[in-house]
């Protein structure tokens, strides 16, 4: 039966990602005390979730209609344009972009890979 | 006026040559350029035009809300389209989109399923079935009543007061509408002496029917070589000349020549080369004695999209030797002796002519002032650079003089807005057809046409009128 529904063909990625996010901080809390060997691995997983969080924040900034269209310009350009019009875009977003100024995942918008 | 300063002793030159003749010094005026926003810094075309429309709406929204509150009361509610409820009278601010069946669409042309023949050349693309749609940041809605859809064009930002009825959802019934008010004008400082600015346009050099004689008369008059001492003294008060576009003729853009392959055209020169040389000859005469501003036009060798960038100085080797020669952008915004002058080479008015029912070019120029935007049809039907963080065509300040070049005839009018501010509107005619230039008096803010005519008849020699 599930193969007839579209959900049978396309796996819902959302649940796996959000559950991964939920489980990861829990796992870091649980394994906070333990052996030092595991700490390195946990740090990686926590920083991974931080990256995902950051990218999610940037994605929400892209999708916010108040700041105008997001395609074709860098996020920093869009942020500057929004602040010029006194729309008060969150400063955290600008800091995120500037701290990763060499990574195009951060600087360019969500649909950067799609040509005009 | 200009000619009334002709001195009493007309005919003073009809005397024996003397050792010393009278010389007149040309007046000097303060000049400030405000066209920085039209100069392109980078040329990134990998962007869509949505940014421009978003910018336009974002900048004009506060102005429109202010105008709406003034017109319909401070308590009137402004809502976005997604917040609209049925049967509720509100003000909505948005950009107009005119859906025209006859608008040339490249998609329709290349679509196989339509099997369309190429459309015949039309002067106007309006139709009875056109519809006006209001778009804001997120939604669009059809507009009915009140707004004259034939006189409006795409890209105008408007505030409409009305409601969406319950039985007719998807349509907004308008009771009233308004446009943004013009900014407060900077008052013009009072002057004692008359100073003039000459506006000329549509020289059309290089055409089969070019009129170099009248052009030479114009150059002679402006440089003070025409007329007796009284007229020379009057000409010394003309401080600046602005050539408002179309200095080269449409004929220099030979379609056959442009489409030919490069290897075939190696030995031939473009007809625009000869035309530019002639233009340089005229400009050097003008630049040697006064300030000259040259604006590019529709048929000049400049970029097609607005804002057109200044013509390159290498095209005018003789004229650019003088520091008085300036190549400027189209549109051109500057102030001289405190008088703010803004003008274009006419492409904006021509485009409005094509997509609205209006026939009077001066009325169209006035409409762009009322709408608060120099070229509302850009980028829809008028080529435009894809800006993303500004719309330079929004009127920043209310000008004192507003002109458009390459118009079919000379027209002028004083426009008064709701605050009582006066703007002098001028349609500068094509010099090749009318041999008329326009002189604007900076002290009184009036203008007059000056027509040159030559007819070699047995009885009289008609000089300037």
Residue, of B376 and A107, whose pLDDT is higher: B376
- In chain A, the N- to C-terminal Cα span, in Å, equals 40
The helix/strand/coil state of B387 is coil
- pLDDT tens, residue by residue, A7-39: 666 655 665 444 444 444 444 444 444 444 445
Percentage above 90 pLDDT, chain A: 7
The reported pLDDT for the residue numbered B256 is 65
The reported pLDDT for the residue numbered B258 is 67
Flag whether pLDDT at B286 surpasses 70: yes
Flag whether pLDDT at B130 surpasses 50: yes
Q: Which range, of A28-32, B87-91, B110-114, averages the lowest pLDDT?
A: A28-32
- For B51, which of A66, A69, A84 is closest by C-beta distance? A69
Task: List the structure tokens of A6.
Answer: 């579209």
In our burial notation (b when 16+ CB lie closer than 10 A, e otherwise), range B225-264 reads ebbebbbbbbbbbbbbbbbbbbbbbebbbeeeeeeeeeee
**Contacts with B13 (C-beta within 8 Å, 6 or more apart), sequence order:** B228, B229
- A69 in reach of chain B (CB within 8 A): yes
The reported pLDDT for the residue numbered B465 is 46
Give just the sign of the alpha carbon dihedral B295, B298, B302, B306: positive
- For B47, which of A72, A80, A81 is closest by C-beta distance? A72
Name the strand (E) or helix (H) holding A54: helix A36-63
Residue, of B265 and B36, whose pLDDT is higher: B36
Whole-number Cα distances in Å, A42 to A15, A20, A51 = 22, 13, 14
ipTM for the assembly: 0.81
Please say whether the beta carbons of B308 and B7 come within 8 A. Answer: no
Q: Report phi then psi at B237, rounded to 5.
A: -90, -5
How far is it, in rounded angstroms, from Cα B378 to Cα B363?
19
Query: Mean pLDDT across chain B, nearest whole number?
Result: 87
The reported pLDDT for the residue numbered B341 is 95
A84 with B389: Cβ contact below 8 A: yes
Mutation pick from B45, B50, B57, B58 vs chain A, by most beta carbons of A within 10 Å, is B58
Name the strand (E) or helix (H) holding B132: strand B131-135
- pLDDT tens, residue by residue, B356-377: 999 999 999 999 999 999 999 9
Whole-number Cα distances in Å, B264 to B267, B272, B274, B311, B444 = 8, 17, 19, 27, 56
- For B46, which of A66, A69, A72 is closest by C-beta distance? A72
- Residues of chain B positioned with their CB less than 8 A from the CB of A71: 48, 50
- Residues of chain A positioned with their CB less than 8 A from the CB of B58: 68, 85
- Residues of chain B positioned with their CB less than 8 A from the CB of A80: 389
Mutation pick from A67, A69, A77 vs chain B, by most beta carbons of B within 10 Å, is A69
- pLDDT tens, residue by residue, A39-78: 544 555 566 688 888 888 888 898 888 888 988 888 899 9
Please say whether the beta carbons of B142 and B81 come within 8 A. Answer: no
The helix/strand/coil state of B55 is helix
B51 with A68: Cβ contact below 8 A: yes
Q: How far is A108 from chain B (nearest CA, A)?
A: 13
Identify the DSSP state of B419: T
Task: List the structure tokens of B37.
Answer: 């926003």
The helix/strand/coil state of B190 is coil
Q: 20-39 in A: which are within 8 Å (CB) of B? A: none
pTM: 0.82
B50 with A77: Cβ contact below 8 A: no
Mutation pick from A81, A87, A109, A115 vs chain B, by most beta carbons of B within 10 Å, is A81
In our burial notation (b when 16+ CB lie closer than 10 A, e otherwise), range B56-95 reads bbbbbbebbbebbeebbeeebebeebeebeeeeebbbbbb
Q: Report phi then psi at B208, rounded to 5.
A: -70, -25
Own/partner pairs, B273-276, CB within 8 angstroms, 24+ separation: B274/B206, B275/B205, B275/B206, B275/B248, B275/B249, B276/B248, B276/B301, B276/B315, B276/B316
Flag whether pLDDT at B327 surpasses 50: yes
In our burial notation (b when 16+ CB lie closer than 10 A, e otherwise), range A32-56 reads eeeeeeeeeebeebeeebeeeebbe
Cis upstream peptide for B159 (omega within 30°): no
- Residues of chain B positioned with their CB less than 8 A from the CB of A108: none
Closest CA to B160 of B148, B145, B175, B141: B175
- pLDDT tens, residue by residue, B388-430: 888 999 999 899 999 999 999 999 999 998 888 999 999 999 9
**Contacts with A86 (C-beta within 8 Å, 6 or more apart), sequence order:** none
| Biggest distance spanned by C-alpha atoms of chain B | 90
How far is it, in rounded angstroms, from Cα B22 to Cα B296?
37
Q: How far is B134 from chain A (nearest CA, A)?
A: 17
Beta pairing, strands B90-99 & B436-441 = unpaired
**Contacts with B135 (C-beta within 8 Å, 6 or more apart), sequence order:** B53, B94, B95, B96, B97
């Amino acid at each position: 039966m599930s193969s007839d529904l579209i959900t049978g063909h396309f796996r819902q990625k959302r649940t796996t990602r959000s559950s991964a996010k939920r489980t990861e901080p829990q796992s870091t809390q649980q394994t906070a005390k333990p052996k030092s060997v595991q700490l390195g691995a946990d740090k990686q997983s926590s920083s991974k979730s931080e990256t995902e969080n950051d990218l999610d924040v940037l994605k929400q900034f892209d999708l916010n209609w108040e700041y105008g269209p997001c395609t074709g310009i860098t996020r920093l350009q869009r942020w500057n344009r929004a602040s010029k019009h006194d729309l008060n875009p969150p400063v955290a977003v600008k800091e995120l972009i500037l701290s990763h100024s060499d990574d195009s995942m951060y600087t360019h918008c969500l649909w950067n890979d799609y040509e005009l | 006026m200009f000619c009334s300063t002709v001195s009493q002793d007309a005919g003073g030159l009809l005397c024996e040559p003397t050792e010393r003749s009278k010389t007149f010094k040309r007046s000097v005026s303060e000049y400030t350029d405000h066209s920085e926003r039209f100069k392109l810094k980078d040329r990134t075309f990998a962007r869509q035009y949505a940014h421009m429309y978003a910018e336009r709406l974002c900048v004009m929204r506060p102005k429109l809300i202010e105008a709406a509150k003034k017109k319909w009361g401070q308590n009137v509610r402004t809502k976005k389209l997604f917040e609209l409820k049925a049967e509720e009278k509100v003000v909505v601010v948005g950009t107009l989109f005119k859906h025209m069946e006859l608008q040339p669409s490249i998609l329709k042309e290349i679509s196989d399923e339509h099997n369309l023949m190429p459309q015949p050349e039309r002067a106007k693309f309006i139709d009875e079935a056109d519809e006006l749609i209001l778009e804001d940041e997120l939604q669009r809605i059809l507009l009915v009543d009140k707004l004259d859809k034939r006189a409006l064009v795409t890209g105008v930002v408007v505030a409409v007061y009305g409601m969406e009825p319950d039985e007719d959802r998807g349509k907004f019934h308008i009771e009233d509408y308004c446009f943004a008010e013009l900014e407060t004008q900077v008052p013009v400082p009072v002057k004692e002496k008359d100073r003039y600015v000459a506006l000329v346009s549509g020289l059309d050099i290089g055409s089969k029917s070019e009129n170099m004689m009248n052009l030479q008369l114009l150059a002679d008059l402006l440089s003070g070589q025409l007329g007796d001492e009284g007229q020379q003294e009057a000409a010394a008060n003309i401080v600046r000349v602005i050539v408002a576009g179309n200095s080269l003729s449409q004929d220099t853009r030979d379609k056959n020549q442009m489409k030919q392959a490069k290897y075939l055209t190696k030995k031939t020169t473009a007809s625009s080369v000869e035309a530019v040389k002639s233009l340089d000859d005229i400009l050097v005469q003008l630049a040697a004695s006064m300030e000259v501003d040259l604006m590019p036009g529709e048929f000049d060798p400049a970029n097609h999209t607005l804002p057109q960038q200044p013509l390159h100085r290498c095209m005018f080797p003789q004229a650019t030797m003088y520091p008085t020669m300036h190549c400027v952008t189209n549109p051109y915004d500057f102030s001289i002796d405190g008088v703010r002058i803004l003008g274009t080479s006419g492409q904006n008015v021509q485009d409005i002519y094509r997509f609205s029912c209006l026939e009077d070019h001066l009325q169209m120029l006035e409409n762009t002032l009322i709408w608060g935007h120099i070229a509302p049809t850009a980028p829809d039907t008028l080529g435009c650079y894809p800006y993303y963080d500004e719309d330079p065509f929004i009127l920043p300040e209310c000008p004192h003089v507003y002109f458009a070049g390459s118009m079919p005839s000379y027209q002028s009018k004083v426009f008064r807005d709701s605050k009582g501010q006066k703007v002098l509107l001028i349609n500068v005619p094509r010099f090749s057809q009318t041999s008329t230039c326009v002189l604007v008096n900076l002290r009184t803010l009036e203008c007059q046409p000056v027509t040159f005519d030559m007819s070699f008849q047995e009885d009289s020699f008609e000089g300037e009128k």
